[in-house]
Chains A and B, each alone.
Chain A
């Protein structure tokens, strides 16, 4: 479990690493701990998988990956593991999740995000995934508009705020 210091470290780190010569020293000062302790804590978080990745979050549209499509697949229950692993192995697949469908009209249980430089690249990838996996019941959902995209601010709720107000 995370203690209070851990949570404070999360709060400070999620604001971003400052562009100064000794950024961890600056952050450690804000936390009232030593630079050494902060570095050790970050290594700890990485080792435990609390931090999944430590680095730059980039705007992939600006890097030429302008096309993306969410593809939802209806995979027979007993083949989920195999098909999930197969799709995850593709470079074009950035995210691959098993999700439990909540309505009978929506049978899709495997969710992939596919990125490409053009829509054609996406179509080609989806076709290849379908052929290789043998899963033919799928839908492609292209994004029409980004309505919100932000990084989560963890542990940022005021402590005495009632749940329904945030």
Chain B
């Protein structure tokens, strides 16, 4: 899908700032100099095409009382599907990537308490037969940026 200038301006705008007012799409239309109907139609299309994955809040999991960690495991190539199936079956596993390293499977895990987190890791070990898990909980967050500015809107910072 090619994005025209209005799509790009809309995406740049709502990645950072979705209005928290009774009529947010009307507000966006005003800022962009278009109509509410146009904004809704564009958003509908961007969601159908999968360019927008979700519209809403991103929560700070620790402030919701959750514990989280990043884990890595070494999985023999012939067992990758099988192990991924077990790991991905836990709702608290939100991301899982195969990477080019001997520690080849990297996943993030969230749970309601440190005890539950540990219990899930134990269950993963038990069900996959993998004993060596790199467990790397964050000690400090220096940065989390999840927006991706699009280039041809000069009103926003460029991705240099």
Instruction: Tell me, in angstroms, the Cα distance from A122 to B20 when the chains sit together.
Output: 36
Instruction: Tell me, in angstroms, the Cα distance from A69 to B26 when the chains sit together.
Output: 38
A95 at the interface (CB under 8 A from B): yes
B135 at the interface (CB under 8 A from A): yes
Find out whether the CB atom of B144 lies under 8 angstroms from the CB atom of A148. Answer: no
User: Which of B20, B23, B99 is close to A142, meaning CB atoms less than 8 Å apart?
Assistant: B99
A131 at the interface (CB under 8 A from B): no
Q: What is the count of residue pairs linking A and B with beta-carbon distances less than 8 angstroms?
A: 243
Find out whether the CB atom of A65 lies under 8 angstroms from the CB atom of B148. Answer: yes
Contacts of B137 in A (CB 8 A): 99-100
Find out whether the CB atom of A10 lies under 8 angstroms from the CB atom of B64. Answer: yes
Total count of chain A residues near the partner, CB < 8 A: 80
Find out whether the CB atom of A148 lies under 8 angstroms from the CB atom of B95. Answer: yes
The smallest beta-carbon distance between B121 and chain A, in angstroms, is 11
Contacts of A10 in B (CB 8 A): 59, 64
The smallest beta-carbon distance between B122 and chain A, in angstroms, is 9
Q: A42-B57, A152-B110, A163-B116 are in contact. Are A63 and B11 (CB under 8 A)?
A: yes
B50 at the interface (CB under 8 A from A): yes
Instruction: Tell me, in angstroms, the Cα distance from A84 to B144 when the chains sit together.
Output: 12
Contacts of A138 in B (CB 8 A): none
A49 at the interface (CB under 8 A from B): yes
B34 at the interface (CB under 8 A from A): no
Contacts of B98 in A (CB 8 A): 143-147
Find out whether the CB atom of B64 lies under 8 angstroms from the CB atom of A50. Answer: yes
Q: A39-B21, A96-B142 are in contact. Are A141 and B56 (CB under 8 A)?
A: no
Find out whether the CB atom of A58 lies under 8 angstroms from the CB atom of B99. Answer: no
User: Which of B101, B105, B139, B159 is close to A139, meaning CB atoms less than 8 Å apart?
Assistant: B101
Contacts of B106 in A (CB 8 A): 70, 141
A135 at the interface (CB under 8 A from B): no
B33 at the interface (CB under 8 A from A): no
Contacts of A39 in B (CB 8 A): 20-22
Instruction: Tell me, in angstroms, the Cα distance from A19 to B160 when the chains sit together.
Output: 33
Find out whether the CB atom of A147 lies under 8 angstroms from the CB atom of B53. Answer: no
User: Which of B66, B99, B140 is close to A141, meaning CB atoms less than 8 Å apart?
Assistant: B99
Within 8 A of A (CB), among B130-146: 132, 134-146
A13 at the interface (CB under 8 A from B): yes
Find out whether the CB atom of A63 lies under 8 angstroms from the CB atom of B148. Answer: yes
* B residues apposed to A, CB below 8 Å: 1, 11, 14-18, 20-26, 36, 40, 43-44, 47, 49-61, 63-66, 70, 84, 87-88, 90-101, 103-107, 110, 112, 115-116, 119, 123, 132, 134-148, 150, 157, 159-160
20 contacts between A and B (CB under 8 A): A1-B65, A13-B57, A51-B57, A51-B59, A51-B60, A53-B16, A54-B18, A55-B18, A63-B11, A85-B142, A87-B142, A88-B142, A91-B160, A95-B143, A95-B145, A115-B148, A148-B88, A150-B94, A154-B64, A166-B90
